[in-house]
Structure 1
Amino acid sequence: MGLAAKMTLEMEIKSPVKEFFHGMVDHAILFSKALPDGLHKSEVHEGDGKSPGSINSFSYVLEEDTALTAKSRVEAIDEENKSLKFEAFDGHVGEFYSKFKVHVQIFTKDDKNFVNYTLEYEKLIEEVPEPINYMGLVAKFNKGLDAHLVQA
């Protein structure tokens, strides 16, 4: 049936790799600053919001003005390799996907800085759409976080 799949998104960033990585570590705090439209919010539920095991909730918009929610658990943070792993669940994500794991890697290539997202997901049923709209949200967040960090 092929309900499990993977998507990737790679974007160039202007921020230094270390700053963008730390911005990603603090994503729960910086979420509404990166998307300052009053519709995107986050809240820490368990832990400090950035250590492995921490759980954050998010309110976000994928299309139109419909606010959706989901939670994410920080699975791993690797300072040396500038990578993070999260698992999203509950809310909108939980309605459509049994697995929704995000791996983020920030790196330099050819004197330019990049962020790469790999989304591993499994749809609950075949008719569930591919999560392209989530990758759009990721791209919007990256642009906003990058702009916020460059201005700071």
Structure 2
Amino acid sequence: MGVKGKLDVEVDIKSHGDLFHELFGKKPHHVPNITPDKIHTCDVHEGDFGKPGSIISWNYTLDGKKCVAKELVEAIDEENKSVRFKIIEGDLLKEFKSLTISVHVVPRGELTAVLWSAEFEKIADDGPYPTKIMDFCIHVTRDVESHHLKD
């Protein structure tokens, strides 16, 4: 049995949290337009954007390598402004037996906190922790913030 864990990062942004939540909850296919050097495509494989139970396919570059991921949209919580994706296929499952990524937006006065969580089980005890993925999420968050601030 592999090592299980959870890794959290919090990024404060100046742009409005509702826009950020709507982007990842209902319009993830717009993300490649905002951060094309990191995320290249986002397509619905099954279901509809913005609907739990849908399966979304992503093409992205992580650590200089072109990668793919298929994610099940497990939950979209409008009240708490959170979205939860479970990786069901792709490059990330070469290092992790299971991986679920959540993003939660929390308004804090003039700033908004974007909380990213990775719940994982490693395939091998000495395998990597999902730090590259969390760094990637931080960079995507900054790109989204910059995009919304210039609008």
State if a TM-score over 0.5 links the two structures.
yes
Supply the RMSD in Å over aligned alpha carbons: 1.8
Q: Equivalent residues in 2 for 1:2-151 (5 A)?
A: 3-37=3-37, 40-64=40-64, 66-151=65-150
Asked if structure 1 preserves the Cα contact closer than 8 Å seen for 2:29 and 2:41, the reply is no
Q: Distance in 1 between matches of 2:38 and 2:142?
A: 17
Identical residues among aligned pairs (%): 30
CA distance in 1, matches of 2:39, 2:113: 27
Give the number of aligned pairs: 151
**2:13 touches 2:145 (CA, 8 Å); kept in 1?**
yes
Bigger strand share: 2
Unaligned segments of structure 1, at least 5 residues:
none
Aligned AA for 2:101?
V
Per the normalisation by structure 2, the TM-score is 0.90
Amino acid at match of 2:35: L
Q: What is the TM-score normalised by the length of structure 1?
A: 0.89
- In 2, Cα distance between equivalents of 1:38 and 1:145: 12
Shift of 1:134: 0.5
Residue 150 of structure 1, CA deviation: 2.5
Q: Deviations over 1:56-104 (max 9, x none)?
A: 111111112x201111111111111111111112111121212111222
